[in-house]
Amino acid sequence: MITLTHWIFLAFVLIIVFTLVWRKPPVLAAAIGLFAVGLVHSKEPIGAIQISFRALSLAAENLLSIILLIGVVVGLTQLLKDSGADQVIVGPLLRLKRINSVYWLVGITMWGLTSLIWPTPAISLLGAVIVPALKKVGVNPIGLALSLTLFGEGMGLSGDYIIQGAPTLLSKATGIPVAILVNASIPVVLISGLFAVTTGSFLIKIRLDLPEDALPPSEKETIQGAKGLKKLESMHNSKIIALIVILSYGIMLFFMIFFKIRGDAASALIGGCTFLILCIGVIIKDQRKAFVSFVEYLKQGFRFSIGIFVPIVIMSSFFFLGTKSGYQQILHADGFGIFSDFAYRLSEIIPLSKWTVGGFIIMMAILGAMDGSGFSSLPLIGGISIALSQAAHLSPIPFAVLGQVVGIWTGAALIPWGFSAVTAAVTEVDSNNLFRLTLPCYIVAIGTAFLFTMLRI
């Protein structure tokens, strides 16, 4: 049954969408929507206030483990920078000069780091070392920017197989176990990602007005860069920390693959291992000063993670109102949720098939990710996937995965103020020029993901 609460919720969903189209942060609209829906549902101000806080608490509870994990990871990233261990780890890449080789090898490195530490810490790690060094030896930075964008938040975060932040958030919204979502997403993510990055490689060859082999601008700069790297690699502590990081993550990945550790258990393993590496690394680097510096690294990490996730918590708390769990835990009402109610009403008007449901999922994923973060769309996509698939008598898993892939790719490559803006800033390229290259790759990724999903259902 559609009530006034449903219509108020829908009205604020549309307000949020229009806010995103106008390139304004939608957080305030979502916060006001919490109070408005709470007031209409409870019919009293006190009840509205309590509902809004229950929504915030539920969202924060669901996201807390991810916030902690990212905070520890960013703290470790800063330690690697300060100790010089980051340059020891990525040093072999600095020997590359061919732009297409750089595109693939830097991209694969970015993909691996994104899987371990997420795209923003990964690009901050690579951007501080690889990008300046490769620019010195004549590599066009636009190729680096395209590689970092497509392999990073695009292909890397759309799967998020190790940290599993994206599938965990989607799991909270759908009730589908993380392991099932991860397994279902593997072929979709890999196929769409490979088509996208191959398109990017092709664009670099035909659109960049540069010779295939870019020569160093001056022998002096190359020699100086090599001497600087050699000096850093000779630092004993940096080598020890770098070795600890490589061995620790390598052993951890082996255990995760061999023992099939997934979901919350995988996140706990990643977080605990990263926390332990941070402890050991701080002691090796700072020795007696480690008691103070350890706290500072944690503060830096958590300032970053909390800053990133604060708007996501607000957005998630609002969209959780539309899910079954949110409808019951936040509004204390019985039913399948606002999304489900609207989906069943929609199924009575428009014939629902896998093609119409898939198209609607893509549209909502794009709109939900227009704030530049694909994560903001996941609670919305999760609720809609469950509702529409149930109404159409289809499995919700492929539609939820499709929404995850589209939402993350949208934040990575389509939205100029999203991850591509970070990449453009790090590589010092014009964001409009980068957008002209990422747009065809984005279209290929989304089109491939949609067709592959439809053919599998």
**Average pLDDT of adjacent 10-residue blocks, the chain of 457 residues:** 89 85 82 94 93 91 80 84 77 65 86 78 64 64 87 87 83 87 93 95 74 37 42 67 86 76 70 90 90 94 84 83 81 79 74 88 79 72 84 90 92 72 74 84 95 92
pLDDT at position 230 is 42
Rounded CA-CA distance 408/421 in Å is 15
pLDDT at position 225 is 45
- Following DSSP, what letter does each residue of 31-71 receive, concatenated? HHHHHHHHHHHHSSHHHHHHHHHHHHHHHHHHHHHHHHHHH
Q: Are 241 and 80 in contact (CB under 8 A)?
A: yes
Rounded CA-CA distance 238/240 in Å is 5
* CA-closest candidate to residue 76, choices 28, 124, 144: 124
Rounded CA-CA distance 74/271 in Å is 11
Distances (CA, A) of 112 to 116, 117, 335: 7, 9, 42
Range of the domain at 246: 4-456
Distances (CA, A) of 249 to 122, 256, 290, 292: 15, 10, 23, 26
Distances (CA, A) of 252 to 62, 109, 249: 25, 18, 5
The type of residue at 443 is I
- Count CB-CB contacts under 10 A for residue 32: 14
Sequence-distant (6+) residues with CB within 8 A of 346 are 352, 388, 391
Q: Which two tokens stand for residue 143?
A: 């190729």
- Number of independent structural domains in the chain: 1
Q: Are 422 and 123 in contact (CB under 8 A)?
A: yes
* CA-closest candidate to residue 327, choices 242, 386, 377: 386
Considering the entire predicted model, what is its pTM? 0.66
Q: Which two tokens stand for residue 41?
A: 């549902």
**pLDDT tens track for 20-75:** 778 777 889 999 999 999 999 999 999 999 999 999 998 888 778 778 877 887 88
Rounded CA-CA distance 267/116 in Å is 10
Place of tokens 């997420």: 118
